Structure 1
Amino acid sequence: MLKILIKTGLAGSAVYYTRNEGIWNENTDKVYERYSSAMQPHIASVKQQIPIDVPALPKSGELCFLTTHYYNAGVKNTIYFIHRLPCYLGQWTKQTSDAIKKAINPPTEASPTTPTAVAGSKK
């Protein structure tokens, strides 16, 4: 899941950056729409050959919204992870320490020759 968020964040940040730099403009939106409409016949032929439902390509406005949404979600999750990192490091350190202690000093089992007291018996 984290791998997908990272990839989505990188792709989203690339689109976001290029849009802010002016690379994406009205002409680019027209090109995107033209390619989207040109791809529809190919998508239809793929739908006939493969028994799965291929979703329609999103409109450029939807694409910008989704990219911004997933970029923001990636930033929030990254900040949350950094915020929680000291807790995670403490937990991982304790788990590692416990595992090393357990490996060095295995627990001793009660030997079957030691007598056990029966509850309620008096001598």
Structure 2
Amino acid sequence: MIGFLVRASIVVGAAYYSKRLGVWGSPEESEKLYNQLKESVRPHAKELEKKLPFEIPALPETGEARFLAKHYYNEGVKSTFHFIEMLPCYTGQLMHKAKVEFEKFATPPSPSTEK
């Protein structure tokens, strides 16, 4: 129960904080926030680049990031609804497997023929 409350608190806090930052605001507010984050990450990325043996790709432009966010959001929604659509089938398969396993336990083992 406590684990659930902690997870729920984290989700509510993240939603509240992201709303306050402007993630869920107008496109202009979201773009402004993205650009601020990009500028604040840039010095850290430069330091990290010096220490890594490979090149870090550039952060995506605002339009590209918006496209990717929409794309992955839509894919998540489609996958969620596909799972919900298939839930009765998955439940039926699970119940069938459970029934077969319980029947195995319920039937006594057959006597083996020894030579």
Instruction: Tell me: CA distance 1:82–1:31, structure 2 relative to 1, closer, same or farther (3 Å).
Output: closer
C-alpha distance 31-104 of structure 1, shift in aligned 2 (>3 A):
closer
Measure, in 2, the Cα distance between the counterparts of 1:29 and 1:58: 12
Question: What do you get for the CA RMSD once the two structures are aligned?
Answer: 2.9
1:55 to 44, 54, 57: 57
Aligned counterpart in structure 2 of residue 33 of structure 1, from 32, 35, 38: 35
Q: Which runs of 4+ in 1 moved over 6 A?
A: none
Do the aligned partners of residues 104 and 28 (structure 1) sit closer, same or farther apart at CA in structure 2, a change above 3 Å counting? Answer: closer
Aligned-pair identity (%): 34
Higher helix content, 1 or 2: 2
- Say whether the 8 Å CA contact 1:33–1:59 is kept in structure 2: no
Deviation at 1:99, TM superposition (A): 1.0
Q: Contact between 1:36 and 1:57, CA under 8 Å: does it hold in 2?
A: yes
TM-score by length of 2: 0.65
TM-aligned CA distance change 1:107 to 1:56, over 3 Å: farther
Q: List runs of 5+ in structure 2 lacking aligned partners.
A: 1-14
The answer to whether the Cα contact below 8 Å between 1:47 and 1:54 also exists between their aligned partners in 2 is yes
TM-score under structure 1 normalisation? 0.61
Instruction: List runs of 5+ in structure 1 lacking aligned partners.
Output: 1-10, 114-123
